[in-house]
Structure 1
Amino acid sequence: MRLDKFLKVSRIIKRRPVAKQIADQGRILINDKVAKSSSEVAVGDQLEIRFGNRTLVLKVNNLRDSTKKEDAAEMYTTISENYRQNDNFI
């Protein structure tokens, strides 16, 4: 399954064009390698997604073409979620 479609179907990112944009900016790693939106995702892969000041690391458990909202969380397991704080100098 394509990376951008996985992110949308799993509801990690709500819209596929946004998932494509983030991936094509080099902000997503699959198994520690920079991924494009067209990169293939497989069960067992580890994804690292950088959203501004937040980094989400997850493991792919399941691939589905479509899901209901309550089933989307079963597609992945969150390994870690880190927040980076900005140092503001006054």
Structure 2
Amino acid sequence: MRLDKFLKVSRIIKRRSVAKEISDQGRILINNKTAKSSSNVVVGDQLIIKFGNKTETVNILKIIETTKKDEAEQMYEIVDESYKEDFRNGIN
């Protein structure tokens, strides 16, 4: 399945156009390699997604073409979530 479609179907990112934009900016890695929106993902791949000040590491558990909300959560597991420190605002 294409990366942008997986991100939308799994509801990690709400819109496919946003998933495409983020991945084409080089902010998503598949198995530690920069990915484009058209990159294929398979079960067992690890995604590192950089959202602004948040970085999320996700393992793909299942590929499903269409899902309901409760099924979407079964498609991946979050391995790590980290946040950049924002010294300007005193937020950690």
Report the TM-score range of the alignment, normalised by the length of the smaller protein: over 0.9
Question: Quick one: distance in 2 between partners of 1:46 and 1:88?
Answer: 32
Instruction: Tell me what 2:87 maps to.
Output: 87
Q: TM-score, normalised by structure 2?
A: 0.95
Q: What stretches of structure 2 of length at least 5 have no aligned partner?
A: none
* CA drift at 1:87: 1.3
Q: TM-score, normalised by structure 1?
A: 0.97
AA partner of residue 77 (structure 1): E
* CA drift at 1:27: 0.1
Q: What stretches of structure 1 of length at least 5 have no aligned partner?
A: none
The alignment-based identity, stated in percent, is 60
Alignment of 1:1-90 (within 5 A): 1-88=1-88
- Secondary structure of residue in 1 paired with 2:47: strand
AA partner of residue 60 (structure 1): I
Question: Quick one: distance in 2 between partners of 1:15 and 1:88?
Answer: 31
Kindly report structure 1 stretches of 4+ aligned residues shifted beyond 6 Å.
none
Q: How many residues align?
A: 89
